[in-house]
Amino acid sequence: MPLSSLFMAGRFSQMTSYFSLAYLAGFLPLTIIGYSIVPKKMKKYFLLLCSYAFFWFISGKLVVYLALSTLSVHYFGIWLARIQLQRDEELKHTEKENKKALKKCYLAKQRRVLLFAAVCSFGVLLYLKYTRFFTMNVNAVLAHLHLPLEFTIPSFLVPVGISFFTMQAVSYLFDVYRGTIEADDNLFRLGLFMSFFPQIVEGPICRYGETAGQLWEAKGISYANLTMGIQRILYGFMKKLVVADRLNPLIQTVFQNYTDYEGGVIAMAAVCYTVQLYMDFSGTMDAVIGTAQIFGITMPENFQRPFFSRSISEFWKRWHITLGAWFRDYIFYPVISARPMKKMTTAARKKIGNHFGPLLAGAVALFCVWLCNGLWHGAGWHYIFFGMYHFALILWGNIAEPGVKWVTGKLHIPTGHFLYRLFQIVRTGILVVIGELFFRAERLKAGFVMLRSMITDFHFTTLDKALLSKMGIDAYDLLIVGITLLIVLAISILNEKGIKIRETLAKQPVVLRWAVLYGLILFIVIFGAYGLGYIPVDPIYANF
Amino acid sequence: MRIYIKHILSGLLFAAGLLLLLSAASYAMIPKDNKEEAGMEDESANGILAEGKNTIDVLVVGDSLAFCTIDPLLIWEQYGFTSYLCSTPSQKLFYTEEFVEKAFRNQSPKMVFLETDALFREYTNGAAVQNRAERVLPVLRYHDRWKKMKPDELFRQPEYTYRSSSKGFAYKPDVDGIKTKKKEVKPAGPDDAVPGRNRKELKKIARVCKENGAELILLSVPSRKDWNMDRHNIIDSLARELGVVYFDMNMKEEEVGIDWKTETKDQGEHLNYDGARKATAYFGKYLAEKNILTDHRGDEAYKTWDKDKKRFEKEIEKEKKKLEKEKKKLEKEKKKQTTKD
């Protein structure tokens, strides 16, 4: 289902893309100018106002979901804080021997409130995003059983970014519950944390402790932050406009008509999609983090050169980092540290040893994480398969680790050697591409058909000028994509080696700095895929 | 404060440098000819760029209704007036304005006809801003030309050589007539309104015409699917407001004499070639009655128009033969199929 038909109801829905003309040439500059003009005390309120205005522009009346979510989270946070306050007060007047029981009692109380709050937050998300999928599957089962019953498949307008702000809301409540942060009694500060416009569409999923304070501090715009922020936005613009959008026709054509193409072409499209997804999402993150930097806010990074990963497990520590961290902190740890899991680990350690013992409970927690990860990306069996695929790979990686160590040791394979590391990187890349193939496929069955074709029919006999033209691109497009990827690769290698390019560039003479910026802008203007004949790809992660 | 001023100045300097660079890139990237293979969009409408200086008497702008209806070479044949159609499919009014402005650079038409269907076409603010930006910095429109450009094109002045033999008119011989006997026009709906931004563009077009000494006339060509009385009344009051003439051929149905069973190519939206000839004949008569245009037939300076007419007739003949061949082939296949069955 196209993004526009499911999400958004605002008049300026094109602003959902941070690279749209309306956003870059309209909303953002006006917000920067307004923010610079308003008095220091009012800046934070201005930012809040702009954030709500932005959400209203893209989502129209659906802004009410964001407002209600913020109100409820604020209320639940205060409720949790009150329980903690009551507990502390009572603890002061309680005998030492009774303190444990009292703490336990209050913990149970807090848990009930937290559970209720999480159910409320996730309930809305689940209802809006998954009722349709659930009903369709129920209908399929009923049809399979030849029962004369069919439920109407509902269709809802889902506000953009609901998955992102719901996760921020729940993380806030969890952190208040754990005592990591104090509940915020200021509704506006919490509101700004929940709605800050650059991150509301595609994240990153921020923690209250990381960004709320910075946002509320509302520093003025400094020249250094402004230029560095613009520079980062431009870098993201290049990734999106030159690579992601240019590859779009090829990907759309092959994935929609996969039965018409041989395995080699399908493999090429799967690689292109993986590149597109990375360029689109990381490019958007560059724009988000760059925009936040203009306002003096440091946002958490969401990508750390994921294609240099040597294992799937490492890949997910470098790709969509804030989502992975959220699942780790709020699903993996709570599941693995639950009492039955601890008992299971202790028993398993005794029977199967210190390596494999904890793996059992780890596998349960990992399963929960990857089921949620798959479902978070969308309501579809191919998403669930995508999650389970990564669950299986990571679990296998954990199980096989001692075996691999033993084999490499016995065969005297130098695991630190460049070639071995390159082999691991390529292997991880191939596994990622297969995962993304299922992720992008229209349905699970289509994913399997494409994978089978890649394995049994892998050749490029029909790949020529005519086929490229049929796929909506030409050799020049591939050339420019290749050059851009080389630029991104070179920058990534330098970053990986700890060389901070932007900081290094900032120290150079003004002529050189400007020349680099002019070059980047001209590169985007000339080689960007926009205008007549191009259809920009919808912000992919705004769908989730 | 000094630092603040220094930062503002350096920002302005950077922007000026960027503008200069983009202007240079624009010069390098603009098509150096008005042919499609040179990167020019809407080749037929842009053919006006290669017409002799001040040789066009009548300019017609608008969408496909215009280029399916008005045949400039028929007007030439019957009255000796020169006209050109800068009309493009689904033309938006900012693009109409661009063509009017472009035409006046090399021509001085006495009359500019704006086909009114384009006035009802909506578009986003973003599209209008983009068009404006592309006109200031053409590199934004022609950036993709790097794929086909030769190095010597970079610094060359544009030289327009493509002359449309049909003067922007599209030959459409297909017949797909209206089946019902009852006269039906476009049902009234929310799209029967001229958006605010189109009114502004129209005022701009009227101003440009006035400044260049041309008379702007709003024109509605025969169409059953894109016209109704509501639309007529809206345009009529808009014309009064602007002080321009409104020439609605739909109100003269009997005089124009379109046979909607055989003279439309898509059940009443556009006219086919036969319909276009009838409508053009009426349109030519209207031009002649205005008594302000000169008959250029026989004039040495307009000799190319006779050549173009012959060229267009040949093209039509060729197209007719091709269609005939295709028709015969289809019939043959049909026959084969029936004998098989």
- The mean pLDDT value for A390-408 works out to 91
User: Same structural domain for residues A93 and A166?
Assistant: yes
| Structural domain span for residue A291 | 227-536
- The mean pLDDT value for A19-25 works out to 86
Domains of chain B: 31-340 (3.40.50.1110)
Question: Which of A203, A220, A237 corresponds to the end of one domain?
Answer: A220
A239 has a pLDDT exceeding 60: yes
Give A220's pLDDT tier (boundaries 50, 70, 90): confident
A155 has a pLDDT exceeding 70: yes
Burial degree of A144 (CB within 10 A; 0-12, 13-18, 19+) = exposed
Decide if A542 is inside a domain: no
A6 has a pLDDT exceeding 70: no
CB-closest option in B7, B126, B141 to A14: B126
Instruction: Determine the Cα–Cα distance for residues B290 and B292; give it in Å rounded to an integer.
Output: 6
3-state secondary structure of B264: strand
Collect all residues with Cβ–Cβ distance below 8 Å to B323 and sequence separation of at least 6. Answer: B173
Burial degree of A348 (CB within 10 A; 0-12, 13-18, 19+) = middle
Best CA proximity match to B243, nearest among B283, B216, B220, B219: B216
Share of chain B above pLDDT 90, in %: 74
CA distances from B50 to B43, B61, B296 (A): 11, 17, 19
Question: Which of A197, A220, A243 corresponds to the end of one domain?
Answer: A220
pLDDT digits (tens, 9 = 90+) for A286-344: 999 999 999 999 999 999 999 999 999 999 999 999 999 999 999 999 999 888 888 88
> What pLDDT does A5 receive?
40
Phi and psi at residue A119, in whole multiples of 5°? -65, -40
Give A346's pLDDT tier (boundaries 50, 70, 90): confident
User: Same structural domain for residues A281 and A422?
Assistant: yes
CA distances from B94 to A102, A261, B59, B159, B214 (A): 73, 42, 16, 25, 19
A479's tokens:
């050339």
3-state secondary structure of B30: coil
**Do B124 and A514 lie within an 8 Å CB cutoff?**
no
User: Same structural domain for residues A346 and A439?
Assistant: yes
Q: How many CB atoms lie within 10 A of CB A368?
A: 17
**Do B143 and A518 lie within an 8 Å CB cutoff?**
no
**Do B25 and A522 lie within an 8 Å CB cutoff?**
yes
Shortest alpha-carbon distance between residue A518 and chain B (Å):
7
How would you classify residue A343: left for phi > 0, otherwise alpha for psi between -120 and 50, otherwise beta? alpha
Instruction: Determine the Cα–Cα distance for residues A516 and B69; give it in Å rounded to an integer.
Output: 53
3-state secondary structure labels for all residues of A463-514: CCHHHHHHCCCCHHHHHHHHHHHHHHHHHHHHHHCCCCHHHHHHCCCHHHHH
**Do B126 and A21 lie within an 8 Å CB cutoff?**
yes
B181 has a pLDDT exceeding 80: no
pLDDT digits (tens, 9 = 90+) for B189-203: 778 889 999 999 999
Q: What is the DSSP letter of B170?
A: -
- E strands along A308-463, which residues? none
Q: Chain B contacts of A533, Cβ < 8 Å? A: 144
Q: Decide: B96 and B121 in contact? Cβ < 8 Å.
A: no
Decide if A396 is inside a domain: yes
The residues on B that touch A, with CB distances below 8 Å, are 3, 7, 10, 14, 17-18, 21-22, 25, 29, 41, 124-126, 129-130, 134, 139-141, 143-144, 146-147
Residue with tokens 């996760």: A167
Q: What is the DSSP letter of B160?
A: -
Q: Chain A contacts of B140, Cβ < 8 Å? A: 525, 531
The number of helices, as runs of H, and strands, as runs of E, in chain A is 23, 0
**Do B147 and A476 lie within an 8 Å CB cutoff?**
yes
User: Same structural domain for residues A477 and A499?
Assistant: yes
Burial degree of B107 (CB within 10 A; 0-12, 13-18, 19+) = buried
CB-closest option in B17, B144, B146 to A531: B144
pLDDT digits (tens, 9 = 90+) for B302-313: 999 999 999 999
The number of helices, as runs of H, and strands, as runs of E, in chain B is 12, 5
Phi and psi at residue B217, in whole multiples of 5°? -125, 130
Share of chain A above pLDDT 70, in %: 96
> What pLDDT does A539 receive?
65
Residue with tokens 């029967």: B192
In one letter, which amino acid is B148? Answer: K
Shortest alpha-carbon distance between residue B313 and chain A (Å):
32
Question: Which of A220, A235, A253 corresponds to the end of one domain?
Answer: A220
B160 has a pLDDT exceeding 80: yes
User: Same structural domain for residues A198 and A235?
Assistant: no
3-state secondary structure of A295: coil
In one letter, which amino acid is B250? Answer: N
The residues facing B264 across adjacent strands are B271
Decide if A38 is inside a domain: yes
Q: What is the DSSP letter of A415?
A: T
Decide if A462 is inside a domain: yes
Q: Decide: B106 and B51 in contact? Cβ < 8 Å.
A: yes
Q: How many CB atoms lie within 10 A of CB A241?
A: 23
User: Same structural domain for residues A158 and A246?
Assistant: no
> What is the complex's ipTM, to 2 decimals?
0.83
Out of A103-112, A467-476, A528-537, B213-222, which region has the weakest mean confidence (pLDDT)?
A528-537
pLDDT digits (tens, 9 = 90+) for B74-129: 999 999 999 999 999 999 999 999 999 999 999 999 999 999 999 999 998 888 88
B167 has a pLDDT exceeding 80: yes
> What pLDDT does A544 receive?
58
> What pLDDT does A10 receive?
52
CB-closest option in A25, A525, A531 to B22: A525
Decide if A208 is inside a domain: yes
Shortest alpha-carbon distance between residue A314 and chain B (Å):
39
Q: What is the DSSP letter of B341?
A: -
- The mean pLDDT value for B30-54 works out to 93
**Do A522 and B144 lie within an 8 Å CB cutoff?**
no
Angle, CA of B249, B250 and B256, to the nearest 5°: 60
> What pLDDT does A12 receive?
61
User: Same structural domain for residues A450 and A301?
Assistant: yes
Instruction: Determine the Cα–Cα distance for residues A241 and B138; give it in Å rounded to an integer.
Output: 18
Decide if A543 is inside a domain: no
Instruction: Determine the Cα–Cα distance for residues A15 and A36; give it in Å rounded to an integer.
Output: 22
Give B130's pLDDT tier (boundaries 50, 70, 90): confident
B55's tokens:
């040789």
Burial degree of B78 (CB within 10 A; 0-12, 13-18, 19+) = middle
User: Same structural domain for residues A324 and A456?
Assistant: yes
Out of A130-134, A181-185, A247-251, B49-53, which region has the weakest mean confidence (pLDDT)?
A130-134
Q: Which residue of A has its CA nearest to B146?
A: A526
> What pLDDT does A537 receive?
74
Best CA proximity match to A394, nearest among A444, A341, A431: A431
Question: How many domains does chain A divide into?
Answer: 2
3-state secondary structure labels for all residues of B309-329: HHHHHHHHHHHHHHHHHHHHH
**Do B143 and A223 lie within an 8 Å CB cutoff?**
no
3-state secondary structure of A160: coil
Instruction: Determine the Cα–Cα distance for residues A323 and A198; give it in Å rounded to an integer.
Output: 17
Collect all residues with Cβ–Cβ distance below 8 Å to A487 and sequence separation of at least 6. Answer: A238
User: Same structural domain for residues A297 and A378?
Assistant: yes
Q: Decide: A138 and A151 in contact? Cβ < 8 Å.
A: yes
* Pairs across A and B, CB distance < 8 A: 48
Instruction: Determine the Cα–Cα distance for residues A292 and A290; give it in Å rounded to an integer.
Output: 5
Which of residues B46 and B6 earns the better pLDDT score? B46
- E strands along chain B, which residues? 58-62, 83-87, 111-115, 215-220, 245-248
Q: Chain A contacts of B126, Cβ < 8 Å? A: 14, 20-22
A64's tokens:
């009410």
User: Same structural domain for residues A263 and A190?
Assistant: no
> What pLDDT does A11 receive?
58
User: Same structural domain for residues A479 and A504?
Assistant: yes
CA distances from A34 to A17, A442, B172 (A): 21, 44, 55
Decide if A111 is inside a domain: yes
User: Same structural domain for residues A212 and A238?
Assistant: no
Preferred mutation among B1, B147, B148, B154 to probe A, highest tally of A CBs within 10 A: B147
Decide if A489 is inside a domain: yes
Best CA proximity match to B3, nearest among A220, A85, A458: A220
A384's tokens:
């669930």
Best CA proximity match to A519, nearest among B21, B154, B29: B21
